[in-house]
Amino acid sequence: MPKIHSYSVLLVLAMLTVTACSNEDLSNNTFYESAWCVVQGRGSQIALVTDQKVILKPSESLDSTQYKAGDRYRAIYITIGTQAYYSTTSTAKIVKIVGELQPVLVEDVIQHGSFTGSVNDPILLNADPFFGGGFLNFDFQFSTSHTGIKHGIHLLQDSLVNRKLYMRFGHHANGDVNGTLESALASFPTNGLQNASDADSLIIFSQGDTRLQTYRLALRDTL
């Protein structure tokens, strides 16, 4: 599992300005794309498999000591060609990775009744949560002083009421609440959701700067 790294807000906003999923730079006709993906293979055969099952083969080999099979990242890239992929009958897209791969924290969903910690510190979502790749995904910001204090990021499952499954996406700063805003990514496997088949929607609460934020996701045909 990759470590959760903090990326400066300026860097992330700059990347998203030119990528925002996929945009065309009219000045040089370069087409940028963004995808959440998982590392597959090893050694010189390392590739990235997107949540849409597209195989991305970086034009410059990834360091196999740093990128391990099963690790999850968000990639910003430019497609430069295609080739047959060695372990399947699929065709891989040859891509140039723009900047660095942004690591995604992968954690299990925790049942509220078994959680003894805290998730009450502010956390700001850059976009609505979404399903993809068998995960519930979050793109968010939190404050940190960069002093090495470990922050906790958790997704708690609470009650099922009237076919609505209530969740809490939270942040525990361990007292490290004063500092600069940093962006990060997190994914939670959807197979960890209990009683999901009995629910029509997911209601997610998260603590913003001044008030509780609420997000609603339809569950039908998504899991």
If asked whether residues 25 and 89 sit together in one domain, one would say: yes
Q: Is residue 2 part of a domain?
A: no
Q: Is residue 123 part of a domain?
A: yes
- Residues 180-205: pLDDT tens digits? 888 999 999 999 999 999 999 999 99
If asked whether residues 170 and 84 sit together in one domain, one would say: no
With beta carbons less than 8 A apart as the criterion, state whether 104 and 2 touch. yes
If asked whether residues 80 and 111 sit together in one domain, one would say: no
**CATH at 146:** 2.60.40.2370
Q: Is residue 223 part of a domain?
A: no
Of 47, 68, 103, which one is at a domain's C-terminal end?
103
Q: In this model, does residue 9 exceed pLDDT 80?
A: no
Task: Give residue 204's domain range.
Answer: 107-218
Of 103, 124, 159, which one is at a domain's C-terminal end?
103
If asked whether residues 98 and 111 sit together in one domain, one would say: no
Tell me the Ramachandran region of residue 25: left when phi exceeds 0, alpha when psi lies from -120 to 50, beta otherwise: beta
If asked whether residues 211 and 112 sit together in one domain, one would say: yes
**CATH at 12:** 2.40.50.500
- Containing 11, the helix (H) or strand (E) segment is helix 9-19
Q: Name 48's Cβ contacts closer than 8 Å, sequence gap at least 6.
A: 35, 37, 38, 39, 40, 55, 56, 57, 58, 73, 75, 101
Q: In this model, does residue 155 exceed pLDDT 60?
A: yes
Looking at the 3D structure of the chain, how many domains does it have? 2
If asked whether residues 65 and 49 sit together in one domain, one would say: yes
If asked whether residues 115 and 18 sit together in one domain, one would say: no
pLDDT of residue 88: 53
If asked whether residues 157 and 180 sit together in one domain, one would say: yes
pLDDT of residue 121: 86
